[in-house]
Each structure stands twice: as structure tokens, then as C-alpha cells.
């Protein structure tokens, strides 16, 4: 299997240049071959025959910016890379990391539809870092070992659209509402916290490398036919009425997404938060679609 992990110099390094991560990937699939590319002229060659392409290309935020502020710069970068994927590896599983994920994934879908090669089961926005953060902060607060912790995170990948469901966390732990609110806020602001700390020198590159590797690893295990591989991802979905893309737990199989889970029972605070983020998600999706259709 040929993997083109991700596709930009720095980020490619961060994701697969990390020795542990590269070793993990080859352990999971002994036939896996890491394939980078040096520049746009070699992109087609690098993509040919790929089963998995991870796209983190694009500008990171600077302090004071929202992820949506990256739309102007990153929408066309993602559009062009997706066109190349549609041309050179139309059957590959595509992992989109570039922000704003809430819009770049719909952009990718429209571009692939226009090329006649869209497969909704092969396109995924990477929200794993939100899950990693929610798990870490919950473990810190409860004292549970982080490896044993599971916290669902649904919605999208920006501010209030990131919805950690601490009511469904395991191991279960009863916490006062203000503590849960603080954990939720910290999860939603995790990216901003790093952007501010890096003070203009980029965003959460290393933790994204970790999260990106976790998600890529899950995709590869699914492609290899391992049963019951499940991760959260922002995908075409009809789990929430009126939203064509949404993140819930998805099952990853030999053909990409093999199933999409519902999000279970929400408590009243979580339901309110979900209702509140629907308009933002809807508008981010529409913005991406309009861009891809050349309307903005
Ligand atoms: N989905 C998520 O959870 C996360 C998403 N991100 C997003 O990932 C993107 C990259 O962030 P970082 O790695 O921190 O930034 P970075 O600046 O470290 O790396 C970006 C890379 O993109 C490359 N690049 C720029 N334009 C390109 C093009 N047209 N074609 C190919 N490569 C191109 C640059 O050369 C650079 O190597 C940003 O949009 C950021 O917001 C970052 C962290 C988490
Ligand atoms: O916050 C950012 O700009 C990068 C990102 O998406 C994250 O770290 O979750």
C-alpha cells in the first residue's frame, strides 16, 4: 500500500518524520510505503496509486484570528490539492486537516463531485485533536489514566462547534456543572491557547502530528480490514437535520467509512450547545460549497 502522508514539507515531517509514528505505521501495515513530495511538479507522481492522502497544507492562525479567517488563504490550497487527488488517486481516502475544517471538507466534496469522482465514504475532516484534548483534560481533572479515558466530541472543528460530551465520558465521574463548563471551554479553546502561546509562530503542529497519526493509523487499520475500527471525524452525514457535514464516531473499513454513529443522549446543556452551533456549522458548510462552485 502506498501512502502519501501529508503532503507539505514541515507538516509531512511532523507527521511521518517522527520516528515513533513512522514505525507505528509500518508495523500496522508492513507493505506501507511513506511517500512525500518535493514540490508541485512532483505532486501527480507522488499521488498516483495512493490509498490514503493526508492534507495539512495551508496557513496556520496568528493570535487574534479565528479558523474562519484562514478561509481566504486555505480554500484555494485545499481546492487545488483535492483536484490533484481527484485526478491522480480518485479512490484514495482523504484526511483533511487544513483549516477551517468546517469549510474545507465541503469544498473538497464539491470539487470531487464536479470531477465525477466523489465518494462520501472516502472524505474525512480530522477532528481527532479535539478528542485528544478532551480526553487529556478529563483525565487531568478526574485522575483517571488518560489511556483509559473516552470522551465523545461531536460537531465541527472551530470554537463553539466543538462539542465534548462529558456526560458520556468513561470512566464516568460526577462533576459540578461549572467544572464541566470549564473543561468544555478548555477543549474548545485548546487550539487558540497554543496559537497564543506560539505568538505568531504557528499553531498546534506537534499535537496535530500526534492526532493526525492516530487518525491515519485508524484509517490504515480499516483499509487493511481490521474489524471495529472507530474514530471521530467530520464527514458527510445526516445525523443532524439541516447539516450535510457533522462529526460523530465513524467506523473505518476497507472502503473508508463503513458506518456513522448517532451521538447518543445529550443532557440539556449539551443539547443547548448543539442547537447553538448548528447555524455556524451550516454557514461554514455553505461558504465552502459556494467557494467550490465559484460563487464567492
Ligand atoms: N484539524 C486540526 O485539528 C488542525 C488543523 N491545523 C491546520 O493545519 C494547517 C497547517 O498548520 P501547521 O502545520 O501548524 O502550519 P505550518 O505553517 O507549520 O505548515 C504548513 C505547511 O503548509 C505548506 N503549504 C503552504 N501552502 C501550500 C500549498 N499551496 N501546497 C502545499 N503545501 C503548502 C507550508 O509550506 C508548510 O509546510 C493550518 O491550516 C492549521 O490551521 C493545525 C492544527 C490542528
Ligand atoms: O487552532 C488552530 O488554529 C489549529 C487547530 O485547528 C487546532 O489546534 O485545533
- At 138-195, the pLDDT tens digits run 999 999 999 999 999 999 999 999 999 999 999 999 999 999 999 999 999 999 999 9
pLDDT of 23 reads 30
Looking at all shown ligands, the one closest to residue 66's CA atom is: 2
128-132: average pLDDT: 96
CA 31 to centroid of ligand 2, rounded, Å = 32
CB 163 within 8 A of CB 155: yes
CA of 60, closest atom in ligand 2: 3
Tell me how far apart the alpha carbons of residues 275 and 282 are, in angstroms, rounded to a whole number: 11
54-65: average pLDDT: 91
pLDDT of 55 reads 87
Tell me how far apart the alpha carbons of residues 69 and 100 are, in angstroms, rounded to a whole number: 8
Q: Would you tell me how many other CB atoms lie within 10 Å of the CB of residue 2?
A: 17
Looking at all shown ligands, the one closest to residue 58's CA atom is: 1
- What confidence tier does 8 reach under pLDDT thresholds 50, 70, 90? very low
Can you tell me the ipTM of this complex? Answer: 0.98
CA of 61, closest atom in ligand 2: 3
CA 114 to centroid of ligand 1, rounded, Å = 25
49 has a pLDDT exceeding 70: yes
Closest CA to ligand 2's atom 5? 191
**pLDDT, tens digit, 9 for 90 and up, residues 265-291:** 999 999 999 999 999 999 999 999 999
The partner residues of 7 in beta bridges, in order of sequence, read: none
| Helix intervals (H) in 61-147 | 71-88, 101-114, 128-142
pLDDT of 35 reads 53
* Cα Rg of the chain, angstroms: 18
pLDDT of 41 reads 62
Reduce the DSSP state of residue 41 to 3 states and report it. helix
Closest CA to ligand 2's atom 6? 191
CB 130 within 8 A of CB 38: no
**pLDDT, tens digit, 9 for 90 and up, residues 191-246:** 999 999 999 988 888 888 889 888 988 998 898 889 999 999 999 999 999 999 99
Phi, psi of 36 (to 5 degrees): -100, 180
Which is catalytic among the residues 27, 51, 88, 157?
157
Residues 6+ apart with CB under 8 A from 139: 145, 146, 149
Closest CA to ligand 2's atom 1? 191
pLDDT of 108 reads 98
Phi, psi of 95 (to 5 degrees): -105, 115
- What confidence tier does 33 reach under pLDDT thresholds 50, 70, 90? very low
Domain boundaries of the chain, sorted by first residue: 9-126, 128-283
Tell me how far apart the alpha carbons of residues 22 and 34 are, in angstroms, rounded to a whole number: 8
To the query of whether residue 27 is one of the catalytic residues in this protein, the response is: no
Tell me how far apart the alpha carbons of residues 145 and 7 are, in angstroms, rounded to a whole number: 34
The CATH code of domain 128-283 reads: 3.90.110.10
- List, chain by chain if needed, residues with CB within 6 Å of any ligand 2 atom: 60-61, 67, 99, 129, 191-192, 194-195, 203-204
Tell me how far apart the alpha carbons of residues 245 and 108 are, in angstroms, rounded to a whole number: 12
CA 283 to centroid of ligand 2, rounded, Å = 19
17 has a pLDDT exceeding 70: no
CA 203 to centroid of ligand 2, rounded, Å = 6
pTM of the predicted model as reported, rounded to 2 decimal places: 0.91
**pLDDT, tens digit, 9 for 90 and up, residues 87-129:** 988 999 999 999 999 999 999 999 999 999 999 999 999 999 9
CATH pick for 9-126 out of 1.10.150.20, 3.40.50.1370, 3.30.300.30, 3.40.50.720: 3.40.50.720
60-78: average pLDDT: 96
Best residue among 205, 208, 232 to mutate for probing ligand 2's pocket (most ligand atoms within 8 Å of CB) is 208
Task: Answer yes or no: is the C-beta of 8 below 6 A from any ligand 1 atom.
Answer: yes
The partner residues of 95 in beta bridges, in order of sequence, read: 54, 124
Q: How many residues does the chain have?
A: 296
Amino acid at each position: 500500500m502506498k501512502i502519501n502522508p501529508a503532503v507539505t514539507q514541515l507538516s509531512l515531517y511532523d507527521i511521518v518524520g517522527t520516528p515513533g509514528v513512522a514505525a507505528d505505521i509500518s508495523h500496522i501495515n508492513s507493505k506501507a510505503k511513506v511517500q512525500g513530495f518535493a514540490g508541485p511538479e512532483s505532486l501527480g507522481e507522488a499521488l498516483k496509486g495512493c490509498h490514503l492522502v493526508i492534507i495539512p497544507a495551508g496557513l496556520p492562525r496568528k493570535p487574534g484570528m479565528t479558523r474562519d479567517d484562514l478561509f481566504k488563504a486555505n480554500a484555494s490550497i485545499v481546492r487545488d490539492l483535492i483536484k490533484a487527488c481527484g485526478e491522480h488517486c480518485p479512490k484514495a481516502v482523504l484526511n483533511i486537516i487544513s483549516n477551517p475544517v468546517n469549510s474545507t471538507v465541503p469544498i473538497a466534496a464539491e470539487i470531487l463531485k464536479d470531477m465525477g469522482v466523489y465518494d462520501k465514504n472516502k472524505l474525512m475532516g480530522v477532528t481527532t485533536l479535539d478528542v485528544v484534548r478532551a480526553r487529556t483534560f478529563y483525565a487531568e481533572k478526574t485522575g483517571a489514566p488518560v489511556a483509559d479515558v473516552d470522551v465523545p466530541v461531536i460537531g465541527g472543528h472551530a470554537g463553539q462547534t466543538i462539542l465534548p460530551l462529558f456526560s458520556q465520558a468513561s470512566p464516568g465521574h460526577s462533576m459540578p456543572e461549572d467544572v464541566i463548563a470549564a473543561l468544555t471551554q478548555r477543549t474548545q479553546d485548546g487550539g487558540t491557547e497554543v496559537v497564543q502561546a506560539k505568538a505568531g509562530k504557528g499553531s498546534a503542529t506537534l499535537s496535530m502530528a500526534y492526532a493526525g497519526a492516530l487518525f491515519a493509523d485508524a484509517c490504515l487499520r480499516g483499509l487493511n480490514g481490521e474489524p471495529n475500527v472507530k474514530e471521530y471525524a467530520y464527514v458527510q452525514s445526516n445525523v443532524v437535520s439541516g447539516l450535510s457535514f457533522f462529526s460523530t464516531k465513524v467506523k473505518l473499513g476497507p472502503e473508508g467509512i463503513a458506518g456513522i454513529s448517532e451521538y447518543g443522549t445529550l443532557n440539556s446543556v449539551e443539547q443547548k450547545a448543539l442547537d447553538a452551533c448548528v447555524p455556524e456549522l451550516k454557514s461554514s458548510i455553505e461558504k465552502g460549497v459556494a467557494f467550490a462552485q465559484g460563487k464567492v
